[in-house]
Structure 1
Amino acid sequence: MTTLATLTRAQKAAAILVAMGKPSASRLLKFFKQEELKALIEGARLLRTIPQSDLERIVAEFEAEFTEGAGLLDSADRMDTILNESLSPEEMSAIMGDKRFEVAPEGPPPIWPDLEKLEPARLGAFLAGEHQQTSAMVLSKLSPQAAANVLLTMTKPMRGEIIKRMVTMATIPEAAAKIVENRLRTSVLTETSTKDTSAGQARVASMLNEMDKSQLEDVMQDLEAAGTPDLDGVRARLFAFEDVPQLTQKARVLVFDGLSTELVTLALRGAQAGLAESVLSAIGARSRRMIESELGMGSEGIAAADIAAARKTIVATTIRLSREGAFELPSAQNAAA
């Protein structure tokens, strides 16, 4: 905590300006000279919390009429905020004599975060028509997970060529990188913004996946009757707990491998025999015996809401793994057939 006796005149002035608030302080800052503003900033950087009583004494010293403030000042952050909103970046740079307030260079924002949001198959299809060196450069700019998902949509020979070039890739000249970025921006992102409905399909599918099987079927029938476009894209993203038996054995093992026996046991409460067996066949023998023992005690006193929540957790895990490319959902396989 800062004590009144240790404050310099510049620190006292900074404390009063902060206590006044941005509107009043901003008007006053226009009347300070550059060296005075620099002294204020440097003084504010050394300030800590100022008690209300000390603030009142500071105000009295300056013999000015201020609205009573909160008496708090944590650091230079609030002073910086006031200054930044009152002065231009050029003025701040001239005052401070450094480059902290240089204006950021103009230009389009990086495209890589937007590319990572695309469906891997869409980006993969575009890169398949480009030179392997260009594809390698693009994938090297993406996150490892996004790049892996795109690679998995390509043919094996193409994957090998691209990965080989990624391994030996040197620093990419900025001019060449800009050319590739501009082509991607005009040929992929612009087209995506007008034609790609995958984001909408994903939103609708996420909503529908919150419904139980009977509700989901009713809504899908209504959507079909209404002539909803791109319904196959929505259907390919749907998955319910009752669809677990349609997963391959390998996919079921991946899903249940990381789930606790307590969660699986809760999800299987009241489940049909065939559904329960498809789940139990995907887990280890020891865990299976434990779950079967728990299920044999009955489901009395188990809340239906808890069972539904456990099943939704398994559904969410399955959908997440499918999006990461671990396997395809049964609905996606049926849509492709």
Structure 2
Amino acid sequence: MSQPLTLTRPQKAAAILVAMGKPSASRLLKFFKQEELKALIEGARLLRTIPQADLERIVAEFEAEFTEGAGLLDSADKMDTILNESLSAEEMNALMGGKKPEVAAGAPPIWPELEKLDPSRLGTFLSREHAQTAAMVLSKLSPAAAAKVLLTLENPQRNVIIARMVTLTNVPETATRIVESQLRTHVLAETSSKDNAAGQARVASMLNEMDKSELEEVMRDMESSGIPDLAAIKARLFAFEDVLLLDQKARVALFDGLSSELVTVALRGAEPQVVEAALSSIGARSRRMIESELGQGSQNVQQKDILQARKEIAATAIRMAREGAFDLPATQPAEAA
């Protein structure tokens, strides 16, 4: 019977990483310190082939199940492949030359930039990453930004990440730099080329300055022309008449902060259902006052003042929705008309 191999701890770790294969091993390499990666490289270079029985013994020591499909492995070559495909050339040079990887000169801080992203975009990226990576990234964000990203993740994964954040200690600088590099490449770079949110907001702001009939005409033209991202633009639109599309809680929140004078002017000449939707969202005393004013007619009120009051209320609704008070309905002008 052949004697079992006598391996150092770095050699055992290298053997297990090789048995795991490149995808899984690459994810784990992010969490090794610089000196640990050096030890792995040196350990792997001293290996040749590992019999199945010895590999199973090593795996048992680590209480993991990585033996399926593992056989005789050329450990040194495979470790080189894993490292080369997981780390950049600069990072590999840093490992072998004793230098720390450096962030490109003049690169802006990454964490404030991540906080500006749509939470779902960052959440989608983190959902594909190891829970420890996600925990580290969220720990670098402000509590408010981290909470929004966390809520975009599915519950089982969310709980695992929270548990990791509770026990997270100081992250090695090398690991932090590697994660930052990946975020710059796969999140910020992609965002700068594909994120059209700013353009959608500009178009929506322009359209929100139009009255209902003008908006309907322009929207019909945009639909017939096949303008891209039309649904996203619609979701940012809101006209005074769209108070009908808000639920009662949102209407109450909207009209609660508006003056009776402004609401009275905006309701002059409005459709009965719009008037009722607004009046049902305010207090009884204010309602009686406004109804009394509306009963006196609109002969002395100019149309431009009515339109301005309605735009002011619509702008308030858009601002409150942007601040998270409620969600705007996806406006469909032709149908609402």
Range into which the TM-score falls when normalised by the shorter chain: 0.5 to 0.7
Q: Report the counterpart of residue 178 of structure 1 in structure 2.
A: 177
Structure 1 distance, partners of 2:220, 2:266, is 27
Q: Give 5+ residue unaligned stretches, structure 1.
A: 1-104
Q: Give 5+ residue unaligned stretches, structure 2.
A: 1-103
Structure 2 distance, partners of 1:192, 1:325, is 23
Mapping of residues 206-221 of structure 1, within 5 Å: 206-221=205-220
Q: Report the counterpart of residue 228 of structure 1 in structure 2.
A: 227
- How far did residue 218 of structure 1 move? 0.8
Q: Report the counterpart of residue 259 of structure 2 in structure 1.
A: 260
Question: How big is each residue's C-alpha offset from its partner over 1:195-239, in whole Å with a ceiling of 9 and x where there is no partner?
Answer: 222221121111111111111111111112222122222122211
Structure 1 distance, partners of 2:201, 2:136, is 28
Structure 1 distance, partners of 2:232, 2:256, is 28
- How far did residue 249 of structure 1 move? 1.3
In the comparison of the two structures, how many residue pairs are matched?
230
TM-score, normalised on structure 2?
0.59
Q: Report the counterpart of residue 31 of structure 1 in structure 2.
A: none
Structure 2 distance, partners of 1:161, 1:272, is 52
1:316/1:160 CA distance change after superposition, 3 Å: farther
Structure 1 distance, partners of 2:332, 2:153, is 18
Q: Is the 8 A contact 2:255 2:281 kept in 1?
A: yes
1:284/1:156 CA distance change after superposition, 3 Å: farther
Q: Report the counterpart of residue 272 of structure 2 in structure 1.
A: 273
Amino acid at match of 1:309: Q
Amino acid at match of 1:259: L
Q: Is the 8 A contact 1:241 1:311 kept in 2?
A: yes
Structure 1 distance, partners of 2:305, 2:166, is 49
Structure 1 range deviating more: 236-245 or 287-296: 287-296
Match of 1:217, SS state, is helix
Match of 1:118, SS state, is coil
Q: Report the counterpart of residue 291 of structure 1 in structure 2.
A: 290
Match of 2:238, SS state, is coil
TM-score, normalised on structure 1?
0.59
Amino acid at match of 2:119: P
Structure 2 distance, partners of 1:317, 1:152, is 27
1:282/1:111 CA distance change after superposition, 3 Å: same
Q: Report the counterpart of residue 108 of structure 1 in structure 2.
A: 107
Question: How big is each residue's C-alpha offset from its partner over 1:225-282, in whole Å with a ceiling of 9 and x where there is no partner?
Answer: 2221222221222111111101111221222222222222222222111001111212
Structure 2 distance, partners of 1:273, 1:156, is 45
Q: Is the 8 A contact 1:149 1:325 kept in 2?
A: no
Structure 2 distance, partners of 1:284, 1:332, is 27
Question: How big is each residue's C-alpha offset from its partner over 1:86-112, in whole Å with a ceiling of 9 and x where there is no partner?
Answer: xxxxxxxxxxxxxxxxxxx93411123
Q: Is the 8 A contact 1:239 1:315 kept in 2?
A: yes
- How far did residue 175 of structure 1 move? 3.6
Mapping of residues 19-30 of structure 1, within 5 Å: none
Q: Report the counterpart of residue 323 of structure 1 in structure 2.
A: 322
Mapping of residues 87-98 of structure 1, within 5 Å: none
- How far did residue 331 of structure 1 move? 0.7
Amino acid at match of 1:264: V
Q: Is the 8 A contact 1:112 1:141 kept in 2?
A: yes
Structure 2 distance, partners of 1:131, 1:141, is 16
1:287/1:128 CA distance change after superposition, 3 Å: farther
Q: Report the counterpart of residue 77 of structure 1 in structure 2.
A: none
- How far did residue 182 of structure 1 move? 1.7
- How far did residue 317 of structure 1 move? 2.2
Q: Report the counterpart of residue 149 of structure 2 in structure 1.
A: 150
Question: How big is each residue's C-alpha offset from its partner over 1:145-203, in whole Å with a ceiling of 9 and x where there is no partner?
Answer: 54444344344555555556556655555444333322211111111122222221121
Match of 1:330, SS state, is coil
Match of 2:330, SS state, is helix
Structure 1 distance, partners of 2:163, 2:286, is 43
Amino acid at match of 1:277: E
Amino acid at match of 2:260: T
Structure 1 distance, partners of 2:111, 2:180, is 9
Question: How big is each residue's C-alpha offset from its partner over 1:273-329, in whole Å with a ceiling of 9 and x where there is no partner?
Answer: 100111121222232223222322332322333322222222122222333344332
Structure 1 distance, partners of 2:259, 2:136, is 41
Q: Report the counterpart of residue 46 of structure 1 in structure 2.
A: none
Q: Is the 8 A contact 1:266 1:307 kept in 2?
A: yes
Match of 1:283, SS state, is coil
Structure 1 distance, partners of 2:212, 2:250, is 21
Q: Once superposed, what is the RMSD of the aligned Cα atoms?
A: 2.9
Structure 2 distance, partners of 1:119, 1:137, is 19
Structure 1 distance, partners of 2:267, 2:282, is 13
Structure 2 distance, partners of 1:313, 1:167, is 46
Q: Report the counterpart of residue 9 of structure 1 in structure 2.
A: none
Structure of greater relative contact order (alpha carbons < 8 Å, 6+ residues apart): 2
